[in-house]
Chain A
Amino acid sequence: METLSSRTVIYWLGYFGLAMLIIMLNILPLQTVPPEFFSMNAVSLESNATTMFGLVFAVLKSFLADFVLSLVSTPNVLLAFTCAWVLRKPEYVPVMLIGAVFLLADFLLQRPPGLYAAVVIIGTEFLRRRVMELRGAPFLVEYLTVAGVIFAIAIMYRIFSSVAVITPPDFWLLFLQAVSTIVIYPLVVFVTQAVFGIRSVMPGQLDEGRGRL
């Protein structure tokens, strides 16, 4: 490892702490009722849906409420942060750290251990190789790339769990999770830059402790 500065180590710890915070917020016992997205359930719809208009209104309202709720509760914030950090300062989130953090998340969030982590490693390594190309590119380009990677991660996860003959996660739920993760990505980027002060090193800029790129 070249120039293993104390700053880098602090950011490693920061990433780990952030990950633990996100996992902790996830497992807070707030949502013990399963979210209902596309599975129309009788029990939530039966109330005062006597007229056609009332029915349509009830469906729309519950759908909207579900959608908003899903945006709050389902996105994989950890994945969004990891992508944002990898694209800005790859040395702050080494592969092994990502692997360890997602393995721990797998264990704590009741996923098959290692599978999601391995898929995330594939995704983030793909991003890591494009750091130089995306540096200085407009944000839209980065956004589309990350969106592609997040979808690819969801699809690979689904395929691999089918291949390994374990009960695959619900398709719509995975899709919704990918979409909501992509939706919150700009916010995550903003927090990464504003709060953590992690910005890409632009060509020609001085990289701290390492001199000109």
Chain B
Amino acid sequence: MYFRPLRRLLAGVTFMLLVGIFLLWRIDSPRVERLRADLTDRFVPNFEWAMAPVTGTVNIAKDFQSYQQVYEQNQQLRRELQQMKAWKEAALQLEQQNAQLRDLNNVRLDPKLTHVTGVVLADSGSPFRQSVLLNVGARDGIMDGWATMDGVGLVGRISGIGGETSRVILLTDSHSRIPVTIQPSGQRAIIAGDNAASPLIEFLEDPDMVRPGDRVVSSGDGGVFPAGLLVGQIAQGPDQRLRVRLAADYERMKFLRILRKQPNAPITDTGAMLAPALSSQTGAGIIPLQDSQ
């Protein structure tokens, strides 16, 4: 009774429809991704009332687990605190010195680099992709490609915006590629996510000049990100490949800040003269001519 032609036809039609949607996505990806963003926008915020208690409960359970390690951690923190006090002293002195020098130089920090803070609503939901969904979107003026940080380091970039939600592709996602500079040596490289906790470093010119522990910051190449955002530290895997231990705390992602970025003024033509605009009403070059007649 389940082999009736009608059922077969229905299955066939459903199958073709799905394949059709897939092909449409393959051909015209941006439009279908737009639809995806809209669907996410429609569905996920509605889950929020249910998600909050579940997330809370699981986090409490996790916290209980971590009580075991608290004593050990406490001892370790005490030791670190001793070292940190020395560092803090040094930092304070440097800060004062820095402020004085800034004052002397009349340096003004980039005022365009403001940020919007969003709350993490959801993650990608499968181990195949690494992304999170934030509760800010086009309504808040978020745009594709903006950098996202937690308090300390870079987390990822915005990719996909709905009205009230936007998706952040994390640096660990296998599609993420970010240009970086490795600090003391100043070498340029790309960090490439591979769905592992620490992304790989690729296209490094001279690996001998890089040591584990070096600081990795964004380089601003390609106009993707502002330069100088902290990404993490170099670490070396047992397979001798260089990876980045990320500075951002991926375990506890709750609030993320999205850095607003104004695009650079685009250069549209090759070499026109820098002159006031010539038009019949306000043209500065024409009026004096008429006055002289």
Q: Which residues of A contact B (CB under 8 A)?
A: 23-36, 39-45, 70, 73-74, 90, 94-96, 98-99, 103-104, 107-115, 117-118, 121-122, 125, 128-129, 131-132, 164, 166-167, 169-170, 173, 177
Chain B 19-51, CB-CB to A under 8 Å as 1, else 0, gives: 111100110000010011001100110010011
Inter-subunit contact B170/A32 (CB<8 Å) = yes
Inter-subunit contact A107/B40 (CB<8 Å) = yes
Inter-subunit contact B18/A173 (CB<8 Å) = no
Task: Give the distance to chain A from B128, nearest Cβ to Cβ, in Å.
Answer: 5
Task: Give the distance to chain A from B254, nearest Cβ to Cβ, in Å.
Answer: 8
Inter-subunit contact B127/A94 (CB<8 Å) = no
Inter-subunit contact B123/A31 (CB<8 Å) = yes
* Contact with A99, one of B17, B26, B132 (Cβ below 8 angstroms): B17
Inter-subunit contact A41/B196 (CB<8 Å) = yes
Q: Which residues of B contact A (CB under 8 A)?
A: 2-3, 7, 10-11, 14-15, 17-22, 25-26, 32, 35-36, 39-40, 43-44, 47, 50-51, 54-55, 58-59, 120-133, 170, 172, 174-175, 194-198, 235-239, 243, 245, 250-251, 253
Inter-subunit contact A33/B197 (CB<8 Å) = yes
A44 CA to B195 CA, complexed, in Å: 15
Given A104-B43, A173-B127, 15 further pairs, Cβ under 8 A: A29-B121, A29-B123, A30-B58, A32-B120, A32-B123, A32-B130, A32-B170, A33-B250, A33-B251, A35-B127, A39-B194, A41-B196, A41-B243, A107-B35, A121-B11
A122 CA to B15 CA, complexed, in Å: 8
**Secondary structure call for the A interface:** helix
Task: Give the distance to chain B from A22, nearest Cβ to Cβ, in Å.
Answer: 10
Inter-subunit contact B196/A95 (CB<8 Å) = no
A207 CA to B123 CA, complexed, in Å: 43
Inter-subunit contact B25/A125 (CB<8 Å) = no
- What residues on A are CB-neighbors of B195 within 8 Å? 34, 39, 170, 173
